[in-house]
Structure 1
Amino acid sequence: MDQADQMMCAMFEAAVAAAQPAICLPPFLPPYPAAGRLLVIGAGKASAEMARVAEAHYDRPLEGLVVTRYGHAVPCAGIEVVEAAHPVPDAAGAAAAARMLQMVQGLHPQDRVLCLISGGGSALLALPAPGVSLEEKQAINRALLRSGATISEINCLRRHLSAIKGGRLGAACAPAQLVTLLISDVPGDTPCDIASGPTVADASTCADALALLERTGISVSDTIRTGLGTGRLESVKPGDPRLAGNTVHLVATPQAALEAAALQARAQGYAVHILGDAIEGEAREVARVMAGIVRQIRRRAQPFEAPCVLLSGGETTVRLTGSGMGTGGRNVEFLLAFALALEGLAGVHALAADTDGVDGLAEVAGARIGPRTLAQARAQGLDPRAMLEANDAHSFFAALGTQLITGPTRTNVNDFRAIVIDPAPPC
């Protein structure tokens, strides 16, 4: 790797490190209740690591249950860790969610529930609402992932088809004290969108969920459509007395991760510009916009001068085509589209990756490109544009050996994009 590649990888590592539970969680852990129990529950790709940090923090044994993605578990002493499927839920996650709801029954005002939530919890903590089958939820989830809907739109429907999300788990904890600690993986850091908000109130409505179904054309059963139409599947709303006095803290955010990465680049003498931590849209379209900004910097020194680094986060979307052979991956799709839009522009390098270590359906965090990426690919007989159209960017970067493979990072603060723009070389 050249110097730009090394710096981009160091920035990504700094972003992930800033969101590690061992760093961000302890300042927010509440005291052990004086007279009651402390019960730990949670879900998400970071939940097992969060549970382990909680156990190390307290001077007495803890009990509870958290659900994480297959391969993301860590050993805990008293808190049970269950692994389940992501991004499409499975029976293991549904069973764990049912047990968690049962676990919080019968608590008292002197008890405290510590809920540890991170990205991925929507699929991992999947308990269908009455009248909705797990198979239906799986089919709807697959359709949503292919639809190009935003994560906020997807989670709106998830909340309304759930027996545990949309504040229902929080309501079940009453009258115990409830403390929810969140590692945000969603644009805007809205608590009800992080793992679809199992312990927080939800202002969205059944009508909003129905509107999404109409817009995307996703087919659902008459039972679901009737349940949404009549309001039977409504979530827990702001002002519900069962959630009164509950405490919610964001312990790690995409913005904090980007700021940690910026420190790395500034130490190398680069000016750093954070373009936003909540950028959404079709990955290919976001790539074209970013490429336009890069060209303006290179040609006009506007809005910034090179050398500089552009950082951004958020969650783009990928619309999988019916004929596509690939597995998607919004970060690698962005990166391949970005490379095609620049067509070998000198002095520009980029890295795009998911901070949880998994981009799309591949156990790959992301990849990196440089000015010679397309030329090297074509010399190997690859067709970059055809592979983009087939949603096969993972195969593209695997062939070039420029994938970023981290394994489970045990945190999740969403997408990370770094673009390094050096001065144009002399002609």
Structure 2
Amino acid sequence: MQAADPINRIKDLLPTPPLSGRVVVVGAGKGAAQMARSLEELWDGPLSGVVVTPYGYECNTKRIDVISAAHPVPDRAGLEAAQRLKATVANLSSEDLVLALICGGGSALLPAPPPGFSLVDEIALNEELLASGAPISAMNLVRKHFSTIKGGRLAALTKARVVSFVVSDIPGDDAALVSSGPTIPSLGIRRDALEIIDRYRLKLPRRMLDFIGTDVADAPQPADATFASHSHHLVSSARISLEAAAEFARASGVRPVVLSDCLEGEARDVGRVHAAIAREIALYDSPFTKPCVLLSGGETTVTLSSRGGKGGRNGEFVLSLALAIDGLDVFALSADTDGIDGSGNNAGAFADGRSVRRFVAHGINGDAALAANNSYSAFSAVGDLFVVGPTGVNVNDFRSILVR
């Protein structure tokens, strides 16, 4: 988490202040308030602006206003925050400079439905996307075609030069898809959004589908002259955290194996694959010799089979893995680096070769819990939740599996 703190990179990437214009900050995401506070410490000249962050993720700032809103399902506070961000940049001139602080979570925090639609429509879209099992990159591509702020539209509102600092929670680190890219346009077009809607069988109202199929839904493209003077920097990502973890492992005498920083797929399936690799190492010292630690990042998904279960993608990953490593000398942690896994109070969960025995001792059927997407309840009962609270850093999921 220390390695992924964006302040380590932002300080070396700050642009030259304008000669006569203003410097205005806008931002959104789970670490936007912390990024704003860091920027205040680094920037010597005049500075003002506003960022939006989820409830509970706030921190004290002096010159930049922090607005709180709901995540992962939007609320009216987010709607008002989106309007505030648009108003903040709309009247700036070419002499001014906008510093945009963008990190994961901004898609839900910045609801701004198209004309003729309401917050209720955007809530319905988000709820359908969250339950679909679609990867975050696909969800954000759909979102940017049903918005007046995403897909580069916030930056398109201003004549000022925009410099964006991005903390990536997107597998593959496409900066234009982080928070659905309010200040960075992407190449995705509405046809791509419609294909995603069809592929994941999203049940959207006909009028919403009709809108996404029209020209007005198209977001501006990167080649648009509006963005000619704009730039962006990727200041933190999962790769940075994984490399730091790998170095720590080496210093501890354990061989690190970084599987990938951009894993996607159903959480339970990815858990089984990780468990299979760990089992091969534990039993046969192949393809890596013990002791070693498997490290991976990215973002898995959960396709809900029941609305009654409680637990996020990291809990589901760990529960699936726990069932498959029963009896082995293997220890695992999977957690969301922002400190919150799904909508619970935990970042993730721990598991080891004795997890199944602990479940049984507490009357828990692990397979049934997994089938019901109820990982939180299972790990809570045995005391294996990982609870840290909001961290202010969001570089997606972190998975570590130690084989002794």
Separation in 2 of the partners of 1:31 and 1:400?
Answer: 54
Unaligned runs of 5+ in 1: 1-15, 423-427
Counterpart of 2:300 in 1: which secondary structure? strand
Q: Following superposition of structure 1 onto structure 2, how do residues 313-332 of structure 1 map, counting pairs within 5 Å?
A: 313-322=297-306, 324-332=307-315
Deviation at 1:87, TM superposition (A): 0.6
- Residues 259-270 of structure 1: pairs in structure 2 closer than 5 A: 259-270=243-254
1:139 aligns with 2:127: no
Q: Residue 8 of structure 1 corresponds to which residue in structure 2?
A: none
Could you tell me which of 180, 193, 202 is aligned with 1:209? 193
Aligned to 2:83: 98
Find the residue that maps to 1:367 and give its secondary structure.
strand
Partners of 1:266 and 1:367 in 2: how far apart? 24
Residue 286 of structure 1, aligned match among 263, 270, 289 = 270
Of the structure 1 ranges 159-168 and 195-204, higher mean CA displacement relative to structure 2 is found in 195-204
Query: Secondary structure at 2:144's aligned position in 1?
Result: helix
* Structure 2 residue aligned with 1:24: 9
Matched, 1:335 2:318: yes
Q: How far, CA to CA, are the matches of 2:173 and 2:117 in structure 1?
A: 29
CA distance in 2, matches of 1:101, 1:343: 53
Matching residue of 2:257: 273
Q: What letter corresponds to residue 335 of structure 1 in structure 2?
A: V
- Describe the SS at the equivalent of 1:251: strand
- Give the counterpart of 1:396 among 360, 372, 378: 378
Is the 1:29–1:54 Cα contact (8 Å) retained in structure 2?
no
Question: CA–CA distance in 1 between the matches of 2:56 and 2:9?
Answer: 22
Whether the aligned pair in 2 keeps the contact of 1:25 and 1:50 (CA below 8 Å) is no
SS of the equivalent of 1:334 reads: helix
Residue of structure 2 equivalent to 1:364: 346
Q: Supply the distance in 2 between the matched residues of 1:266 and 1:168 (Cα, whole angstroms).
A: 45
Task: Write the letter of the residue equivalent to 2:80.
Answer: A
Cα deviation per residue 1:386-423 (whole Å; 9 max; x = unaligned)?
1111111111111111111111101100000000001x
**Counterpart contact for 2:168–2:234, Cα < 8 Å:** yes
Letter in 2 for 1:364: N
Give the conservation status (yes or no) of the 8 Å contact 2:326–2:352.
no
- Partner Cα separation in structure 2 for residue 237 and residue 319 of structure 1: 31
Q: 1:384 — aligned with what?
A: 366
Aligned residues: 404
Superposition TM-score, scaled by structure 1 size: 0.92
CA distance in 1, matches of 2:283, 2:141: 43
Could you say what the CA RMSD is over the residues aligned between the two structures, in angstroms? 1.3
Superposed displacement of residue 27, structure 1: 1.9
Q: Secondary structure at the match of 1:18?
A: coil
Q: In the alignment, is the contact (CA less than 8 A) between 1:19 and 1:257 conserved in 2?
A: yes
- CA drift of 1:379 comes to 1.2
Query: How far is 1:223 from its partner?
Result: 2.8
Shift, 1:336, TM fit: 0.5
Deviation at 1:305, TM superposition (A): 0.9
1:47 matched to which residue of 2?
32
CA contact (8 A) 2:22 2:46 kept: no
> In 1, distance between residues paired with 2:141 and 2:378?
34
Aligned mate of 2:19, from 34, 47, 54:
34
Equivalent residue letter for 1:325: G
Q: Indicate the residue corresponding to 1:243 in structure 2.
A: 227
CA distance in 1, matches of 2:83, 2:228: 24
SS where residue 419 of structure 1 aligns? strand
Kindly state the Cα deviation for residue 245 of structure 1 after the two structures are TM-superposed.
Answer: 2.1
Ranges in structure 2 where 5+ consecutive residues have no aligned partner: none
- Whole-Å Cα distance in 1 between the matches of residues 191 and 64 of structure 2? 38
Q: Which amino acid aligns with 1:343?
A: D
SS of the equivalent of 2:368 reads helix
Shift of 1:217: 2.5
Partner of 1:311, secondary structure, is strand
Paired with 1:144 and 1:59, the residues of 2 have a C-alpha distance of: 42
Query: Take 1:129 and 1:293, find their aligned partners in 2: how far apart are those partners?
Result: 47
